[in-house]
A and B are shown apart, each in its own frame.
Chain A
Amino acid sequence: MGLGTKRSGEFSFGIKTHIYFGFFIRFALIMYGEHHDKTHALKYTDVDYHVFTDAAREVVQGGSPFNRHTYRYTPFLAFLLVPNVKYHFLFGKFLFSLTDCLCSKIIYDILIYEGHSKKRSIMSALMWLYNPLVIGISTRGSADSIAAALILILLYFLKIRLPVLSGITLGIAIHFKLYPIIYILPIYISFTARPEISSVMKKFSPNLNKIRFLIGTFSSFIVFTGIAYVLYEDQYIDESFLYHFSRVDIKHNFSVYFYLLYLCAENFPTYLSVAAFVPQATLMFVLGLKYSSNRDLAFAMFTQTAAFVTFNKVVTSQYFVWYLVLLPLVSTRLNFSLRKTLFLLTLWLGAQASWLLPAYLLEFHAVNTFVPLWLESIAFFCCNTGILMAFISGYTKSLTAYHQTRKIR
């Protein structure tokens, strides 16, 4: 604990100490998970972790990771988890936990770069590091922390204005998880000089930085996707890309569309797919357009991701990590009182908890709770919409443009 610092009567730890402690918590939970899995019928380890490991085993045996049914990720994830098979089954969980801790460090660095105080930056980084949902997800073996780290690295490069590296990172992130494709619009516009006052034409017209960014994005995406395609051909395209467009998941999940999809599973009309896609796409576009200033990019990405997840046809708790990783970065610009913060937090957690009750009764006790579950999904959706509206109205937009333009005039 020698890294603790004492200043003006208060005692606080540095980010490194917190990261060590955060990793220790994760280590303890991974160990507990091992014990839990051996002694309980309901397992701690995520089913996806077994999928990753089986895919890695297929790779070790010289086969395709896509031979493992339900493996729908990049083959590089299976390559990354080969030590799961060769050395120890827990390797991946430690890797995801380390990536989690790395995310905290990047959040801290971005906030310091933005000029926030050390204390404020640490407090924000801890929102991620000690977030129970995040800890649970990485120690159960979900790979979402890798996508989260890529998004944060992307934001870091954007902060220090490196268009090619930003593009390369975004290309990798899109290859890895597909959803970061929604970030192309705000990032592209952010390379416009003074996007707040530019006309729509000017926002979309290319400049050198925009071209560099796009080249970086497309080249890295094409290189990684190309290698995967060369290795696994159509099987890779079918499982990693096409599946996500044709996916009709009838297992209950947080999505407002789940019951509708369940009831129409056998013959899902195309117009419903369009009806589900239009609101999502509209919001992605409008949010991306509005918060496209470089200083607002984190908020653009946060709101886009939150809207994307809220309006998605399938929503699981892993998806929350996609926007939670950006929350520490936008929290510094939210004009929320403590009471409002606690209210919104309670609302979000309460809506999830009340959804979980009928879901638990359905899945583990075979009680027919489809209708209550559907109503809970609607309530959770409304709650997420309300919270997103509160974020939009409580967000303090960048003032940099205002000061600059005043000087010019």
Chain B
Amino acid sequence: MKPTSLLFIFLNLLCNQEIYALDEVCSVIRRTNVQVERELTGNGFHRKLHTSLVISTPVNLESCHVLVKEIIPSGAYCDPNELNFWKEFGGPSFFIPQFVNVEAPQQLSPKIQSYFFTIPKLIKPSVWHSNISGSRTYALSQGSREKLEERIAFPHPSIYLFCETEILDDACVPLAHLEPCPPSGVQQCDWIPINTFSTSDWVEARIPVGNADLIDTVLLTTTTVTFGATLLLLVSIVRNTQNPYLFNRKLYRLVNILILYENL
């Protein structure tokens, strides 16, 4: 085995990646590595997930698309309508095959399978770069008795390559996966999975949750306050019911009785 091959295996082990037997693997997969770095920006419930891909490959990727396939965890979401809006301002093409309920709390929200498409740009010889951002999240969680914070972890995505020109050799064909085609994801294309590595295992967001232990206090206080306020308002309305006509009619009757009494 050549020293370069040993180095490759070492690098792959270091990066906790799946190792392919070199003689069986297509050259694109063997010679391509993607460094995936992710970052959640923003605070609170509004987070923006940035994904940066640095692709090291001797292959010319000019005619290639990169697919970032990821699962958005339960409790977070990316709003397809918002992503569509940002697409007009240079945001990534994407495909989300399922309905996304942006109002569902964590317990009721499913994981979301999402596909983002991007075209890599050459930044230096044999190194390509791609950025995906705009995947906004708004995580909601219901009250909890155990903890006052919910952890939502975003695992790293799988990366695939699809090239319009024939750069793949025969060994690559069996490895191809059928995944949605860019840009709309309506059709399916043969994508080649690419080895990835990262300096972190995942990115995570921590969001506060309400204290379910307080439910009885909240229930009692809220109902007492609302019923009390209703009573106060009703009293206020009734107290001001004395309209000028009714008041004067009583006065008028009283005066009439007095006059009558005097006349008698």
Contacts and interface: CB of A to CB of B under 8 A. Distances in A.
B43 interface: yes
Contact of B237 (A41, A364, A374, A392): A392
A409 interface: yes
Contacts of B219: 260, 272
Interface stretch (B165-173, B184-192, B205-213): B205-213
A54 B149 CA distance: 34
A279 B226 contact: yes
A286 B234 CA distance: 8
A362 B233 contact: no
A262 B221 contact: no
B200 to A, nearest CB: 20
A265 B105 contact: yes
Interface stretch (A2-10, A107-115, A346-354, A382-390): A382-390
B44 A263 contact: no
Interface in A254-273: 256-257, 259-260, 262-266, 272
Given A249-B103, A259-B210, A378-B225, A286 B237 contact: yes
A365 B149 CA distance: 13
Nearest to A377: B222
Contact of B43 (A51, A256, A366, A399): A366
- Measured as residues with beta carbon below 8 angstroms from the partner, the interface class of chain A is 35 or more
B108 A385 contact: no
A256 B101 contact: no
A69 B81 contact: yes
Contact of A256 (B207, B215, B225): B225
A-B pairs, top 7 by smallest CB distance, nearest first, are A368-B208, A279-B230, A402-B244, A385-B229, A364-B44, A370-B210, A389-B236
Interface of B: 42-46, 48, 81-82, 84-85, 99-103, 105, 107-108, 140, 142-143, 148-149, 206-212, 214-215, 218-219, 221-223, 225-227, 229-230, 232-234, 236-237, 239-241, 243-246, 248-249, 252
6 contacts: A260-B219, A272-B219, A279-B226, A365-B44, A378-B222, A392-B236
Given A256-B226, A364-B46, 20 more contacts: A41-B48, A54-B85, A263-B212, A266-B105, A282-B234, A362-B44, A366-B208, A367-B208, A368-B209, A374-B218, A378-B222, A378-B225, A389-B236, A392-B233, A392-B240, A393-B236, A395-B240, A401-B243, A402-B245, A405-B245
Interface of A: 41-42, 50-51, 54, 68-70, 196-197, 249-251, 256-257, 259-260, 262-266, 272, 275-276, 279, 282-283, 286-287, 290, 307, 310-311, 362-371, 374, 378, 381-382, 385, 388-389, 392-393, 395, 397, 399, 401-402, 405-406, 409
